[in-house]
Structure 1
Amino acid sequence: MTKHLLYLFVLVLTCISCSQASKKSTTLNDTGVPLKMAEYRSQQIQDVVYHLWFNIPKEKELPITSKLVLKANINDLSHPLYLDFKEDLSSIQKIIVDQKTIPITFEKEHIIIPSASLELGTNTIEIEFIAGELSLNRNSDYLYTLLVPDRARTLFPCFDQPNIKAKYNLTIIAPKNWKVLAGASVEKEETNGETTTYQFRETDKMSTYLFSFVAGEFNATLSSSSNNSMNLLYRESNEEKLNASTEAIFKLHQSSSNFLEAYTQFNFPFQKFDFVTIPGFQYGGMEHIGAIQYRESSLFLDSSATRSQELSRAKLIAHETAHMWFGNLVTMQWFNDVWMKEVFANFMADKIVNPAFTDINHDLQFLSSHYPRAYSVDRTRGTNPIRQKLENLNNAGSLYGSIIYDKAPIVMRQLELTLGETSFREGIREYIATFAYKNADWNDLVAILDKKIDLDLKRWSEVWVNSTGRPVFSEEIKYDNAQRIKEFTLTQKAEDGSAKFWPQSFDIQLVYPDSITSIAVLSDTPSIKINEVLGAPKPLYVLYNTNGYGYGLFPTNEMVATHSAAIEEEVSRAHSYLNIYENTLNGTIAITSAIDNIKMGVSTESNELILRMLSGQMSNLFWNYLTDKQRTQYQEALEELLYHRLRQPESKNIKKTLYKMYRSIAYSQSGIDRLYRIWNKEETIENLVLNKDNYSSLAQQLALFGHPKAKDILAKAKSGISNPDKLERFKFLEPTLNSDPAVRTAFFKSFKDPKNREKENWVQTACSFIHHPLHQKEGIKSVGISLELLEEIQRTGDIFFPLGWLSSTIGKYTSKEAYDMVQNYIASHPELDENLMKKLLQATDNLYRRQNKNI
């Protein structure tokens, strides 16, 4: 071979090699946090420590100059180091790797550090940048981070995946009158002129979504009498609420922690146990390590609070405390298993509240809180399995919903019932001990529990965890000539038409004029024979799932619908109402029968939990399934029924529930007049205790219903609000209650600007006013905007906002025009993210059923 040919040969090989290397080095990079990149990085990187500095100016319009010093051990340099940063290139000011400044390479939301600039072993990377603000909730005098599920990368460069846990050394420079809260205690505090520098101790190891800080004008209080010293930051100014709630908040946190330490046999796992309440917070709570965030109105209650509100607060606190073990101590490998942390938080919360609320029927509470919400998704065309697929973390927010929060606890209770409480608890303790401060997935837990039961847990998991939908049960009862049962067959089929079935246990009852026969049923095959009842006389009717453990749509009929209120046992009565309601939506019970059944329940029900469930059912049927003519026919009688019962001697809890139901439907002239007299304090109803917030809300309801003095009512209500956060919210909502449709429409159109959507909780309330059934004649003209903005809202909004946005806009409609809008949108968006499409189908289920004559 000549030198010339040899040179060409080497050159070709070099080009091929370079091309392959180049291809190899870029195949991992894609927008977001792709699974392939995350899997590689989890092997490439370890021992990560983030040193972060944020200089927060008092003026919210000014940028937050920041610095990151990242230390990490690198095991593999076959690919560059990708740091996630969902910001503009202009936000990155300088990069220094091991004391050498390197050019800035930024592609597809990633800062790329070339392999040539790194070395195997320990590396130090310094980045000067402007903090991203997408998830930095800035207000005029406070801010807070909210970084779940993939929002840490919107604030600072990082490895934004749950299985790269890291320690944080945080320094914040803030206005000197501000307080700060983060995942570790303040080690050093120094004031210089108008600013104070807070240097925090190094945190425990945590995933990026659990890192947080809060800074602003907050009040603070400390509980040192508990096992764990606890700090609380808050902005609530109502003295009655503060006096009534502060001690209770600390006690509920401590009792929750005590329970979890005993249940898991693992001490509280982190340095500190602090929390902050935030006005208009997007969620009920968020479990940041060392700095839990809560919606302020959920924690601070006063003497007007019902027992259900107190229970909800206790469950919320127990839920977030449980996350310290389930999610924070043991964290999922990838967000496809986000349900695991949520199911255990909810499941444990249900266990934790029992000792503190001995007057509550907790089986009833479990049924009434989880089942309606789980069914509200599982019955839809947009239902999803508990464990979902996730190829890119930027779609993780769409995984959240009632299947995770409500169906999963039902499934976990079935699993506990199957294993036995002792074996289940032992399995959980082994799981916690094995994976403490590490990451685990569902299969890791299955492997532990599988050793404690003969059941094929993987097969069980396939239908309950990895599949969608619910079973529909049907009965076939044959009688002999003496009208005694000679055959009783119970069959289950998947609602979606597939061949799967759900092994489960529940009770049934044969109801006779003077007795009841109860039978425990194990439905472990598609069709079972219930031989225990053979020879029994023909019952008046059969009640299914009377203990509330089963899951699915059970047989019922019009006779049961007329007897629900007479069922003595509370769980059985509640399930009867729920089952009739679900059968109504499926078209097997007439809507008039269902509403008459609910009316009977409303007139007699003495349990607050059941009454609240009935209230939700009535609201949905009344506003979404009755025609305008039917609504008019039912409204007067329903108003009178509720008002009459409001005037009767009842407990405070029952009165508040009845009042909320009455307020939601009393839009007739007489109803508006009564509500006005209550708001103006001309009429007092015994045992109905309303606070300032209730009166503000009632003023808004009067404006929504078109009271002729609405403008004056709102002005007076506004003048009585002293808390600046609540006043700001009231002013925000005012345009949505304007009598001029053009004003409401213009305000809704303003949501095209992301800045006007920052207060997501407020936005959802605003949309529910603008698109209320009483406003839909005008609202339909702008509702298409909600669909146009959907994909942008998924990109910019927090995890619950896309569904909340849809539910409070297009989800409020049942007309043919709205149905066509949805169908056209679906047809014109074939590439819409699958999980986002499911959210659209969930939110528009009522619309679909109405137009397809399901009911």
Structure 2
Amino acid sequence: MTTRVFVSILVLSLFSCKPSTEDYNLLSTGISRELADFRKQQLSDIVYDLNFSIPEKLEDSIPASLDLTLTIHDSSQPLYLDFNVEKGHVSNVIANTEAIDIIHEQEHVIIPSEYLKEGKNHIEIAFTAGEQSLNRNEDFLYTLLVPDRASTLFPCFDQPNVKATYNLSITAPQDWEVLAGAPEQEQSKNGNFITHTFATSDLMSTYLFSFVAGKFKTATKDLSGFDMKLLYRETDSTKVQSSLDPIFELHKGAVDYLEDYTAYSFPFQKLDFATIPIFQYGGMEHVGAIQYRESTLFLDQTATESQLLSRAKLIAHETSHMWFGDLVTMNWFNDVWMKEVFANFMADKIVNPEFPEVNHDLLFVLSHYPSAYGEDRTKGANPIRQELDNLKNAGSLYGGIIYHKAPIMMRQLELATGKKAFQEGIQEYIKTYAYDNAVWDDLVSILDTKTNLDLKKWSEVWVNQSSRPVFSEEITYDAQNTIEKLQLIQSAEDGSAKIWPQTFKIGLVYADSTHILTAAFKEKRLLLEGAQGLPKPQQIIYNYDGMGYGIFPQKDDLLQSLPQVQDEVARGYSYINVHENLLNAGLNPISVFELYKKGLVNEKNALILNRISSQMQNLYWTYLTDIQRESHQKELEDLVYNQLQQALPANIKKTFFGLFESIAYSPSGKDRLYAIWNKETQINNLKLNEDDYTGIAMQLALFGHEHTDIILKEAAAAITNPDKKRRFEFLQPTLSSDESTRANFVNSLQDAKNREKESWVLSALGYINHPLRQESGLKHLKTSLELLEEIQLTGDIFFPKNWLNATIGRYSSAEAYTIRENYLKAHPDLNKVLKNKLLQATDDLERVHVMQASLEN
């Protein structure tokens, strides 16, 4: 027999012995619920020993190895490791000391059952690290593995209820810092590289495993025996000096509060953090090593009160996750909202004592209601708790309902159970499920023992169903003009029969007083017996305390007197309610425009003023017609510019400047904005930093200022931070007055590689699809929609919705509406969650279309 014949026979023999994928009945792309449930009972005592060797050159791959030890309770089925990379990344597999064939099918590395045993097993895998979630840059990288992206980096069991410990070593260039979830134990030098070895981590889910490596500066702080370390790249010395102490102190303050509230000590070995210039979202709660978007944490003396509050709440949110999400983790990602609602809910509690001068009831209303309503009012509204069949779809569950409606629900739940009983229930929940997993019903069962409320029935409508209530009134007066009957009726906006149990206040406003009534809804109709016999009020303000949820009656007379309402919460919520009634075509856009103008002049509360400014921009660019917008632009520009000349606090000046900058596209507006940019005009108490001036330059380019080329050249030269300079260079094509240059940029986004810096991409799309450029941007909408399903697979959790918001979500034209409708017709099987995201993002487009159709008829 010749050698060639022998080799051929051997190859055929090996091929024929390789198990057929048809035998793997749990095999499918992604991580199915069936596979996850099986692995939960199949596996325990999991330890990942991981090694990554990061090369100096960005284009070089990262060799890696995994030594996996685990206990297997059922060896009748294969071992499925999730590894969502192209074939060829795995170079060697050893199962219990025996080298085996590499079986890498449908995003899984499979160890056949014949190589397994019940009890302790040892698996070794040599592989090349996947890079989809490595976020590699020239001089730094960071992992971001939520919700199912750990499997795009290394072979693992990528589901939240299979927790494990990690032993990690990373070899990196010698001038790089490395941060991971466990304390660093040892460094060993090897030529131009250093190997960083970390201690055994705490028990955690795969999506919480992380590391950051690169050229970072470091800062450390020990506050009352609590050591913390920060990695950062910010180069502005003023921001660094102003921010380092607050960053550490806010973390320590959050830890102290949470330890007291939960009656459970900080649960992990350490609390470090890294700030990253291009981070995809605000923060991510990796165990022991939180990651943040750098611009949110590093502020200077120009920061507004809103920015300071946002930083404090973000830090409190991510720190809260150490208990809610990291210590006690959802069993499956359909309950991802649980960790987010607790983080937001606790963040609101934590921030209160840090900002005693702030009206925190008002802050809660303004922080959560607009964003919750922004999704719950739409045809794509989803429940707080959603169904999930496969973890590959888990990223699409995130959104405003989870982050904003859920805290509103939780506040109602706390009100219904009582604060003391609620806190006791949370303490029991944390203690019972520490280092484990829990579902919503586990918490409900605990709280059920502490209240007479039927929480299962209560949560059915609040948690498991979508939409919001619409309230109407029935009011009659007798001959003496006193109230005979005041009745409220609740109906569901989506036309269903559900009723939301909730409690809120109603203010009956008189010339010299306000009479407060409590509305406790349990049924469809509520007769307010306390109103009977009262004189006819000048006005009625519903949801006076901001505790209720829904759309409330809004009379035209309140539009005239709203700026004079004394109670801040009532006034702030009423502005939100005006906006909701406008969107439901219950109020005239020009009447609302006039109200907002009065509010801009009269409002003294910075938080409410910021809300008015935001709603004014939405009204101006979306709900006014082209003719209305052009006829009112100059008066709005002059009004806001005049407010900038007044003696007002710095944070209010910054709000006015943001509004002015957004609408100063007239010749006079561009002249005024240019004078501010080149510092010919100095506005007293308007504090602008380098980033602000860069933003003004880009806005002038968007508005087509005659000196755009010079402005952008000077703006680029003024940027000292290399990360910000790269961002500016990335955005420049979108600022071009040349339509073909902008079109080439948009077309480049069809390549996933060009979408990796997601925050930059979203900023770029904002310029491409600005209302002033939509005539040229319209032709790209079809392509942007066709990319949606790919973006869900390649982008991070918020990117699909943000992509839609930044593209078709910016439009209000009939042409854009037709493009959306044609896309939906052409994709009848579009993933339901993605379809909901599209309907949410285009809610304004839909409403404008309905308004225009009603006018035409």
Report if TM-score (shorter chain) is over 0.5. yes
Q: What's the counterpart of residue 139 of structure 2?
A: 141
Mapped partners of 1:810, 1:686: distance in 2: 39
Which of residues 238, 244, 247 is equivalent to 1:246?
A: 244
Amino acid of the structure 2 residue aligned with 1:588: G
Which of residues 663, 666, 669 is equivalent to 2:667?
A: 669
Structure 1 segment 606-617 matched on structure 2, within 5 A: 606-617=604-615
Structure 1 segment 172-571 matched on structure 2, within 5 A: 172-571=170-569
SS of match in other structure, 1:224: strand
Q: What's the counterpart of residue 165 of structure 2?
A: 167
> Deviations along 1:300-320, whole A, 9 cap, x unmatched?
000100111111100000000
Amino acid of the structure 2 residue aligned with 1:498: S
Amino acid of the structure 1 residue aligned with 2:125: I
Q: CA deviation at 1:815?
A: 1.1
Amino acid of the structure 1 residue aligned with 2:382: N
Mapped partners of 2:104, 2:687: distance in 1: 58
Mapped partners of 2:723, 2:21: distance in 1: 53
Mapped partners of 1:677, 1:524: distance in 2: 58
Which of residues 651, 654, 661 is equivalent to 2:652?
A: 654
Q: What's the counterpart of residue 737 of structure 1?
A: 735
User: Does the Cα contact within 8 Å between 1:25 and 1:78 map onto a contact in 2?
Assistant: no
Mapped partners of 1:225, 1:409: distance in 2: 30
Q: CA deviation at 1:841?
A: 0.4
Determine if the alignment matches structure 1 residue 77 to structure 2 residue 61: no
Q: What's the counterpart of residue 700 of structure 1?
A: 698
Mapped partners of 1:97, 1:168: distance in 2: 19
4+ residue stretches of structure 1 with deviation over 4 A? Answer: 21-25
Q: CA deviation at 1:23?
A: 9.8
> Deviations along 1:221-254, whole A, 9 cap, x unmatched?
1102343200000000110001100011000000
Which of residues 97, 100, 106 is equivalent to 2:95?
A: 97
Which of residues 575, 595, 606 is equivalent to 1:597?
A: 595
Structure 2 stretches lacking a partner, 5+ long: 1-18
Given the two structures, how large is their TM-score scaled by the length of structure 1? 0.97
Q: CA deviation at 1:181?
A: 0.2
SS of match in other structure, 2:303: coil
Mapped partners of 2:87, 2:701: distance in 1: 47
Mapped partners of 1:24, 1:337: distance in 2: 32
Amino acid of the structure 2 residue aligned with 1:407: K
Amino acid of the structure 2 residue aligned with 1:703: A
Q: CA deviation at 1:168?
A: 0.3
SS of match in other structure, 1:89: coil
Mapped partners of 2:621, 2:305: distance in 1: 27
Determine if the alignment matches structure 1 residue 688 to structure 2 residue 690: no
SS of match in other structure, 1:187: strand
Which of residues 677, 680, 683 is equivalent to 1:679?
A: 677
> Deviations along 1:417-448, whole A, 9 cap, x unmatched?
11110000000000000000000010100000
SS of match in other structure, 2:84: coil
Q: CA deviation at 1:22?
A: 8.4
SS of match in other structure, 1:661: helix
Moved more, 474-483 or 688-697: 474-483
> How many residues get paired?
835
SS of match in other structure, 1:622: helix
Q: What's the counterpart of residue 10 of structure 2?
A: none
Mapped partners of 2:87, 2:749: distance in 1: 27
Mapped partners of 2:76, 2:560: distance in 1: 71
SS of match in other structure, 1:752: coil
Q: What's the counterpart of residue 44 of structure 1?
A: 42
Mapped partners of 1:514, 1:457: distance in 2: 41
Q: What's the counterpart of residue 587 of structure 1?
A: 585
Determine if the alignment matches structure 1 residue 830 to structure 2 residue 828: yes
Q: What's the counterpart of residue 3 of structure 2?
A: none
Q: What's the counterpart of residue 119 of structure 2?
A: 121
SS of match in other structure, 2:453: coil
Q: What's the counterpart of residue 109 of structure 1?
A: 107
Q: What's the counterpart of residue 789 of structure 1?
A: 787
Q: What's the counterpart of residue 12 of structure 2?
A: none
Q: CA deviation at 1:334?
A: 0.3
User: Does the Cα contact within 8 Å between 1:25 and 1:79 map onto a contact in 2?
Assistant: no
Mapped partners of 1:831, 1:54: distance in 2: 40
Determine if the alignment matches structure 1 residue 821 to structure 2 residue 819: yes
> Deviations along 1:168-216, whole A, 9 cap, x unmatched?
0001010011000001111110111111011111100000000000000
SS of match in other structure, 2:31: coil
Mapped partners of 2:476, 2:720: distance in 1: 68
Mapped partners of 1:770, 1:681: distance in 2: 28
User: Does the Cα contact within 8 Å between 2:781 and 2:819 map onto a contact in 1?
Assistant: no
User: Does the Cα contact within 8 Å between 1:187 and 1:199 map onto a contact in 2?
Assistant: yes
User: Does the Cα contact within 8 Å between 1:227 and 1:254 map onto a contact in 2?
Assistant: no
Mapped partners of 1:343, 1:745: distance in 2: 40
Q: CA deviation at 1:513?
A: 2.7
> Deviations along 1:249-292, whole A, 9 cap, x unmatched?
00000000000000000000000110000002101000001110
Moved more, 537-546 or 359-368: 537-546
Q: CA deviation at 1:515?
A: 2.5
Q: What's the counterpart of residue 745 of structure 2?
A: 747
SS of match in other structure, 1:184: coil
SS of match in other structure, 2:45: strand
Given the two structures, how large is their TM-score scaled by the length of structure 2? 0.97
Amino acid of the structure 1 residue aligned with 2:87: L
Q: What's the counterpart of residue 56 of structure 1?
A: 54
Q: CA deviation at 1:512?
A: 2.1
Determine if the alignment matches structure 1 residue 805 to structure 2 residue 787: no
Amino acid of the structure 2 residue aligned with 1:643: Y
Q: What's the counterpart of residue 152 of structure 2?
A: 154
Amino acid of the structure 1 residue aligned with 2:589: I
Mapped partners of 2:586, 2:97: distance in 1: 73
User: Does the Cα contact within 8 Å between 2:90 and 2:125 map onto a contact in 1?
Assistant: yes
Cα-Cα RMSD: 1.1
Amino acid of the structure 1 residue aligned with 2:39: R
User: Does the Cα contact within 8 Å between 1:330 and 1:436 map onto a contact in 2?
Assistant: yes
Q: CA deviation at 1:24?
A: 9.2
User: Does the Cα contact within 8 Å between 1:810 and 1:844 map onto a contact in 2?
Assistant: yes
User: Does the Cα contact within 8 Å between 1:556 and 1:580 map onto a contact in 2?
Assistant: yes
Mapped partners of 2:222, 2:485: distance in 1: 65
SS of match in other structure, 1:237: coil
SS of match in other structure, 2:354: coil
Q: CA deviation at 1:766?
A: 0.2
Q: CA deviation at 1:25?
A: 4.7
SS of match in other structure, 1:134: coil
Mapped partners of 1:727, 1:404: distance in 2: 35
User: Does the Cα contact within 8 Å between 2:142 and 2:212 map onto a contact in 1?
Assistant: yes
SS of match in other structure, 1:241: helix
Mapped partners of 2:454, 2:589: distance in 1: 42
